[in-house]
Chain A
Amino acid sequence: MDYKKPLPGIDIWSRPFWAGTRAGELRMQCCGDCRTIFFPPGPVCPSCQSRNLTWETLSGRGEVLSWVIFHQLYFKGFADEQPYNVALVKLDEGPLMYTNVVGTDNDKLAIGMRLEAVFEPATDEITMPRFRAVQP
């Protein structure tokens, strides 16, 4: 494999998330009592402290709340794409996540832009979810 970017550290709480991306789905924890969907994953519902949690498949859609362009290189694996973007995305189901927006020039990024998840295999184990503009 010649994937050079940092790989995620997977723990017992996040393993189902990464199993989801490998299956081409964005899955997050959902509280069986108050229906809150949250991310990053953890042992209890942060809204009501319930342990009654399930993993749900999300729509994979959301919108850009903010975005930045990295001109400084912090990770050698991103050197080929420098300067690269990172967006703060609010998923339609509520959770926030940082991600890269692919397929759109950095100078065309905008707050409010509608996004959908795409899944890029990185290694045999890891598939990275990134986002692209919702296709018409």
Chain B
Amino acid sequence: MTTEHLRDQTCIVGVGTTAYGNFPETDANGLGADALSMALADAGLTLGDVDGIIVNRIPSYERFSEMIGLNNPTFGAQLQASGRMSGASVMMAAMALASGQAKCIALVYGNNGRSVREYYGGGDSLWAPWGFTSPGARHAMMTRRHMHLYGTRSDQLAHVAKTFRDHAALNPAAVMRKPFTIDDHQNSRFITEPLRLLDYCLINDGGVAFIMTTADRARDMKKKPVYISGMAREDTYENSSTYTSPDDFWFGALDRMAGRIYREAGIGREAVDGLMIYDNFTPTVVFSLEGMGFCKRGEGGPFVEEWHLALGSGLPTNTNGGHLSESYMQGWALIAEAVRQLRGECGERQIKDAEVIQYICATPISNSILFRN
């Protein structure tokens, strides 16, 4: 398959992000509606310009559209409330726009998991009788195996967490901004060993929205468009009951994606100025770097230990602080950060002369998007 014909055909022309925190006075609909208003204002558009909608983690596309007064779109979809769906939403919008199903699509995400005390783990599942539950535990299981095969160490993962916290310290919107040391990470309590508290993402409320349109319509808009130059998605469903196949670490999926996304986008890996990596847990960053070929397979631990992901080094990553320190917006805030980096709106944490940013999400629906300005 190929998506080369979609190269630079569609753009993000508006982004909106609410404050991140604990907001019991609103909910996913309220947060999504706020983010959407911000995104429309950012794009210089009104709701009347929108003829397509994709919602994620918002309970109903139908009710949400009714609530905000979007009555007769020609395209609509609602994706499952998991982080793999942020990139999938952008890709779906790009395909719908390029095929003429809509002219201008609003993508809206709202999350009130913090204020409703959403607990990731403990629900009914196949493995609950053995006490096995939670996304963190699945990644802990992968991490132990990666440590066994490649010698990866917890203090190497600490470098990922510390790097993103240092970035969050430069981001006024971030929930967690106080820097910590490698020792602080190593002294933080185990949640599911070998992963510690500081290997885990945050849980917070917030909303994010994007406005996407076609490249020809984007040219006259208020802000410089950010183009979707390349996209790739690879699903991995074998052994999904145990989350993933042993020794895979999503490498198979990411390696296949890397084999086509750069070629189809006409942008080489070496041209990437910064990364936004889905960091639900620190090891996912290591798996993503290996799978996408930014380092050799098994060498993600030493690679992150060399601080390559820090602002000012070769591959600045998650400059907003990521899920580990900025906000748990399930990929949406990372994509917003990619757009803002490419517009040069990031202030103290700006990647100098950023022209290409890559989003990478390593999950059962692995996906990656190459954005350029």
**Residue of A whose beta carbon sits closest to that of B148:** A111
Q: Does A36 contact B (CB under 8 A)?
A: no
Scoring B residues 46 to 81 as 1 if CB is less than 8 Å from chain A, else 0, what string do you get? 000000000000000000000000000000000000
Name the interface residues of A88-136: CB closer than 8 Å to any CB of B.
88, 90, 96-100, 111, 128, 130
Q: How far is the CA of A71 from the CA of B192 in the complex (A)?
A: 6
Taking a contact as CB atoms under 8 Å apart, the answer to whether B121 and A74 are in contact is yes
Taking a contact as CB atoms under 8 Å apart, the answer to whether A74 and B134 are in contact is yes
- Given the complex, which residues of B lie within 8 Å of A74, measured CB to CB? 119, 121-122, 131, 133-134
- Given the complex, which residues of B lie within 8 Å of A84, measured CB to CB? 131
Taking a contact as CB atoms under 8 Å apart, the answer to whether A90 and B246 are in contact is yes
Contact pick for A72, options B148, B191, B239, CB 8 Å:
B191
**Residue of B whose beta carbon sits closest to that of A106:** B193
- Given the complex, which residues of B lie within 8 Å of A96, measured CB to CB? 239, 241-242, 246
Q: Does A5 contact B (CB under 8 A)?
A: yes
Taking a contact as CB atoms under 8 Å apart, the answer to whether A40 and B130 are in contact is no
Q: Does B347 contact A (CB under 8 A)?
A: no
Taking a contact as CB atoms under 8 Å apart, the answer to whether A71 and B189 are in contact is yes
A-B contact list, 15 entries, CB within 8 Å: A6-B129, A68-B137, A69-B190, A70-B137, A71-B189, A72-B191, A72-B192, A74-B119, A74-B131, A75-B131, A75-B133, A83-B190, A83-B193, A98-B127, A100-B131
Closest chain A CB from B297 CB (angstroms): 18
Taking a contact as CB atoms under 8 Å apart, the answer to whether A130 and B130 are in contact is yes
Query: Chain B residues in contact with chain A, CB under 8 A?
Result: 119, 121-122, 124, 126-134, 137, 140-142, 144-145, 148, 189-194, 238-239, 241-242, 246
Contact pick for A86, options B132, B189, B241, CB 8 Å:
B132
Taking a contact as CB atoms under 8 Å apart, the answer to whether A67 and B141 are in contact is yes
Assuming the contacts A40-B241, A74-B121, A96-B246, asked whether A68 and B140 have C-beta atoms less than 8 A apart, the reply is yes
Taking a contact as CB atoms under 8 Å apart, the answer to whether B145 and A5 are in contact is no
Assuming the contacts A9-B124, A88-B242, A111-B144, asked whether A69 and B130 have C-beta atoms less than 8 A apart, the reply is no
**Residue of A whose beta carbon sits closest to that of B190:** A71
Closest chain B CB from A9 CB (angstroms): 6
Q: How far is the CA of A6 from the CA of B128 in the complex (A)?
A: 6
Q: How far is the CA of A7 from the CA of B126 in the complex (A)?
A: 10
Q: How far is the CA of A72 from the CA of B122 in the complex (A)?
A: 10
Q: How far is the CA of A59 from the CA of B220 in the complex (A)?
A: 69
Q: How far is the CA of A30 from the CA of B275 in the complex (A)?
A: 45
**Residue of B whose beta carbon sits closest to that of A99:** B130
Q: How far is the CA of A5 from the CA of B128 in the complex (A)?
A: 8
Number of interface residues of A (CB under 8 A): 32
Other than the known A71-B192, A72-B191, A74-B133, what 14 A-B pairs have Cβ atoms closer than 8 Å? A5-B129, A7-B129, A8-B129, A40-B241, A66-B142, A70-B131, A70-B193, A71-B189, A74-B121, A74-B134, A83-B190, A86-B131, A88-B141, A96-B239
Contact pick for B131, options A67, A78, A90, A111, CB 8 Å:
A78
Taking a contact as CB atoms under 8 Å apart, the answer to whether A69 and B193 are in contact is yes
Taking a contact as CB atoms under 8 Å apart, the answer to whether B128 and A66 are in contact is no
Scoring A residues 26 to 42 as 1 if CB is less than 8 Å from chain B, else 0, what string do you get? 00000000000001100
Ranked nearest first, the 10 interchain pairs of A and B with the lowest CB-CB distance are A74-B122, A69-B193, A6-B128, A66-B145, A71-B190, A68-B140, A86-B132, A74-B121, A98-B132, A66-B144
Q: Does A23 contact B (CB under 8 A)?
A: no
Q: How far is the CA of A70 from the CA of B122 in the complex (A)?
A: 12
Taking a contact as CB atoms under 8 Å apart, the answer to whether A67 and B144 are in contact is yes
Scoring A residues 49 to 83 as 1 if CB is less than 8 Å from chain B, else 0, what string do you get? 00000000000000001111111101100100001
Taking a contact as CB atoms under 8 Å apart, the answer to whether B246 and A88 are in contact is yes
**Residue of A whose beta carbon sits closest to that of B237:** A46
Q: How far is the CA of A19 from the CA of B148 in the complex (A)?
A: 36
Closest chain A CB from B262 CB (angstroms): 32
Taking a contact as CB atoms under 8 Å apart, the answer to whether A66 and B141 are in contact is yes
- Given the complex, which residues of A lie within 8 Å of B119, measured CB to CB? 74
Q: How far is the CA of A71 from the CA of B188 in the complex (A)?
A: 12
Q: How far is the CA of A74 from the CA of B242 in the complex (A)?
A: 18
Taking a contact as CB atoms under 8 Å apart, the answer to whether A98 and B130 are in contact is yes
Q: How far is the CA of A111 from the CA of B148 in the complex (A)?
A: 8
Closest chain A CB from B148 CB (angstroms): 5
